[in-house]
Homo-oligomer: A and B are copies of this chain.
């Protein structure tokens, strides 16, 4: 048996089945001790890297002192600080010119009809600084937001960076923490994230029986009726499953971390072979 990890509220991992490899956690509160999963710093960094669309909260000029939420697009730099290209005519820019305190909230995009509160989100709190991006930063922004090419040279648009002071991560119900800023800045986005949605869709559409067999075997749940893969990272996959007694969130841990979607595939195939022996 490889490893067992139930993430249902109150569930405890089977001690004998806990992963032995070092998950390289680098901070954050871990509500599933001993289970290999990205740290909250890594989850936060991955989410910031994967998105590009956020809510910017500034302090309004009018009505004075009220927090004001608005939509922005951004691209993160190497430290995970988001950069924005915004118009001086926009409310948030005018607000920032008076009070630089701000935060950026990035939420995981829902695929299908899931409760948004069960998904990840990160709030980066800091100060907005009008700054010149490097050429690489500018290119990275335009690559993410090709529409920005149109207003890149407009005289009323300028570059702003959120200098992050505090990081709050919420991974869903009951999984949350204040993330150490150094851990956040040093964390690397999960290498599987860019293909995670496709992997989940492919597994759920074409390999529903196989993933059910994996969970029955490695998570010791022969009672499972159905399992839907909801996420995958370099340490494993998560599922929403059905049992005769209701639904259950499960985490299937890989025997060792993977670095590409190809390695996810190879790992799942070899785990399936082991499960069917």
Task: List A residues at the B interface (Cβ < 8 Å).
Answer: 53, 55-60, 63, 65-71, 73, 91, 101-105, 107, 115-118, 121, 123, 125-126, 145, 147, 165-166, 168, 170
In the bound assembly, the distance between CA atoms of A58 and B73 in angstroms comes to: 21
**Inter-subunit contact B117/A147 (CB<8 Å):** yes
User: For residue A67, which residues in chain B have a CB less than 8 angstroms away from its CB?
Assistant: 57-59, 67-68, 101-103
In the bound assembly, the distance between CA atoms of A40 and B60 in angstroms comes to: 21
**How many chain copies?**
2
**Inter-subunit contact A69/B55 (CB<8 Å):** yes
**Inter-subunit contact B104/A69 (CB<8 Å):** yes
User: For residue A104, which residues in chain B have a CB less than 8 angstroms away from its CB?
Assistant: 69
The chain B residue sitting closest to A126, CB to CB, is B66
User: For residue A105, which residues in chain B have a CB less than 8 angstroms away from its CB?
Assistant: 55, 69-71
User: For residue A101, which residues in chain B have a CB less than 8 angstroms away from its CB?
Assistant: 65-67
Instruction: Tell which of B66, B116, B166 touches A102, judged by Cβ atoms closer than 8 Å.
Output: B66
Residue with the greatest number of chain B CB neighbours at <10 A, chosen from A56, A63, A71, A104: A71
User: For residue A170, which residues in chain B have a CB less than 8 angstroms away from its CB?
Assistant: 70-71
The chain B residue sitting closest to A52, CB to CB, is B116
In the complex where A69-B103, A117-B147 touch, is A63 in contact with B123 (Cβ < 8 A)? no
Q: How far is the CB of A1 from chain B (nearest CB, A)?
A: 31
Q: How far is the CB of A177 from chain B (nearest CB, A)?
A: 11
**Inter-subunit contact B68/A123 (CB<8 Å):** yes
22 residue pairs of the A-B complex, CB under 8 angstroms, read A55-B55, A57-B103, A58-B67, A59-B65, A60-B103, A63-B125, A63-B166, A65-B101, A66-B101, A66-B166, A67-B67, A68-B123, A69-B69, A69-B103, A69-B104, A70-B121, A70-B123, A71-B116, A71-B121, A73-B116, A73-B117, A115-B145
